[in-house]
Amino acid sequence: MNERYSRQVLFPGIGKEGQAKISSKHVLIIGAGALGSGSAEVLTRAGVGKLTIVDRDYVEASNLQRQQLYTEEDVAEKLPKAAAAEKRLKAINSDVKIISIIGDATPELLEDLVVGVDVMLDATDNFETRMAMNDVSQKYKIPWIYGACVGSYGMSFSMIPGKTPCLNCLLRTIPLQGMTCDTGGIISPTVQMVIAHQTAEALKMLVEDWESVRTSFVSFDLWRNQYTSMKMSKAKFPGCLSCGDERTYPFLDHENMTKTTVLCGRDTVQIRPSIKGELSLDRLAGQLNSLGYTVKGNPYLLSVEMGKERMVIFQDGRALIHGTKDLTHAKSIYQRILG
């Protein structure tokens, strides 16, 4: 057994047999930001056989506070996160096969990528992608590990098709956070805590110790010294369209994705969210004001100045991004602010 993994092999939960299993497995990580880069490093150092990372963004200065794989040089070169992550991970462990994909994790791409994947890790920044991951997980029977964090608050849940509730079930039970790091900020210890939860669960799955996989929903607030673990067995919903008796995998349907449209004759993109719901405009205005944005509004909408661009947000989650015709750029702005 490689001396590199000797301390890991000494751990009874893994041992030589478990290490051999880890080295033969394939993990897919969606997102190479704070959670993705940290989890990728942990699993690369642990000796996973193959690691595929998908991310559409590039490295910016604001990432360096918490995204541990990146450097000031990456910022200066505006390197795509996936490419920068691949370069660093290969330097950490040349035994691991690293595949980086620079692009959007669409349902079509996810369905192509999951062939031969043993575990998926959620490190994305928006619920549209998470819901697509959830449906891919259920359709192809691949376990995945949800994770999210903002401010000092984090959460994680391991989903095993056929055994645990899926994310679509959980949304009926748990009011998940709507803030993002761009609106609520983030401290690095919160990121590290979620990474610890996600990668520990991933290692359990990779060594096939299914009895040890945590089936409770974990949430915590490091600043307020709060930690909660909730049993989720009763959250499984027989009528769920993602994992229920008559599943249709609705979030793999192109019709249910976020709609982006360039308005005729204008430098404006309209965005309609894939998940319906009403926003608290007052709360959102307060968050954005505290971050230095110029915000004006009325009971029906908010207008947010964003440099050369302006975002108008309606109560139903619909938004107009003025100052651009680039659909990808507009969608990125939308998800950065609204998650």
Annotated catalytic sites, by residue?
181
The Cα–Cα gap between 146 and 198 comes to: 8
List C-alpha distances in Å: 272 to 57, 103, 302, 338.
21, 21, 15, 12
Structure tokens at 107: 């349902």
Go through 292-301 and write b for each residue having 16 or more CB atoms within 10 A of its CB, e for each that does not.
ebebebeeeb
Structure tokens at 251: 């979030």
Residues near 265 by beta carbon (within 8 Å), at least 6 away in sequence: none
Residues near 323 by beta carbon (within 8 Å), at least 6 away in sequence: 267, 268, 308, 309, 310
The identity of residue 205, as a single letter, is: M
Please measure the distance between the N-terminal and C-terminal CA atoms of the chain and give it in whole angstroms: 44
The Cα–Cα gap between 208 and 19 comes to: 11
The Cα–Cα gap between 33 and 65 comes to: 11
